[in-house]
Amino acid sequence: MSELRPDQSMISCLDNVRRMDHDRYLTALLAPSPARGKLIALYAFNAEIARVREMVSEPMLGQIRLQWWREALEGIAQGEVRGHEAAVGLAEAFSAEDLDVAGLTALIDARERDLDDEPFADMTALNEYCSKTSSGLMRLAARALSPHGVADDIIDNAGIGYALTGLLRALPVHASQGRLYLPLDLLGQHNVDPHTIFAGEMSDGLRAIIGVVAAEARERLKAARAVSPNAPRNVLAALWPASLCDAYLDRITAPGFDPFRQAVEVPVFRRQLRLLGRKFAGRF
């Protein structure tokens, strides 16, 4: 791979986040200018490790890719940068002292679960996964915005709410890949065969399960917002992705909605208006 200049790598990171993680792309653009590069680098790194499962044909190849990223982080901390744009972007945006290698490595470790296609046993297990992935990334973003970050209970609940919403939005994509992120106990309670989901078949049972997961997401967002007035304004950009959940959840839980036939989309201008409103209000 040819060497990338820092300016080239950050442009590539920005473009990748825009394409693969548009919600976080929009929030990064509204963040305080000194921290935008850090957020883009973090989100580009997250986008790369989050799509490892989709890029490999077997778990071992995914393990190799994730291990490459662990070693890349260690190299950045020692002043050695590998030629991937996300790695170069992290090295450009963070000094060796500011780069949270442990936190980034924890995100990689959490993504190993994506290589196991076995569904989660229950909502507790699913929430734990969401906390390690989504909340973990929010925590890193908050620290990039301010060394003091934000209270763990706000971050944890906001991150879980956002991740659960995202998993519901991605249900048809995951189903087409033979992957399922809905808890097994809910499938049993509502008598839903996973194979019907993989076949793209909507049912009353699946609709009920979606409703349970959506209700959990709403409760998590409510809990985070209840204490969010205590969050410093300069770290709110880390939480802003969660402010977009309400519109998605309204769509997902609308009567008669079929995720296999209808897209869970919110127009860009509506998302932009929502984020601008949260920015001016100092909330998420």
pLDDT values of the chain reduced to their tens digit, one per residue, 284 residues:
345 455 688 899 999 999 999 999 999 999 999 999 999 999 999 999 999 999 998 999 999 999 999 999 999 988 888 778 999 999 999 988 889 999 999 999 999 999 998 899 999 999 999 999 999 999 999 999 998 878 889 999 999 999 999 999 999 999 999 999 999 999 999 999 999 999 999 999 999 999 999 999 999 999 999 987 777 888 999 999 999 999 999 999 999 999 999 989 999 999 999 999 999 998 89
pLDDT at 1: 39
pLDDT at 5: 53
Residues in contact with 81: Cβ distance below 8 Å, sequence separation at least 6, in sequence order: 72, 75, 87, 88, 91
Q: What are the residue ranges spanned by the domains of the chain?
A: 1-115, 117-284
pLDDT at 2: 42
Q: Tell me which fold the domain 117-284 belongs to.
A: Farnesyl Diphosphate Synthase (1.10.600)
Write the burial class of residue 11 (CB in 10 Å: 0-12 exposed, 13-18 middle, 19+ buried).
Answer: middle
User: Hey, what are 180's tokens?
Assistant: 């399922």
Residues in contact with 45: Cβ distance below 8 Å, sequence separation at least 6, in sequence order: 69, 86, 87, 89, 90, 104, 107
CB 150 within 8 A of CB 232: yes
Angle formed at CA 127 by CA 21 and CA 60, multiple of 5 degrees: 65
Longest pairwise C-alpha distance within the chain:
55
> What's the CA dihedral at 208, 211, 216, 219 to 10 degrees?
-140
Rg (CA), the chain: 19
Query: How many whole angstroms from its chain centre is CA 133?
Result: 7
Angle formed at CA 46 by CA 134 and CA 194, multiple of 5 degrees: 60
d(CA 12, CA 40): 10
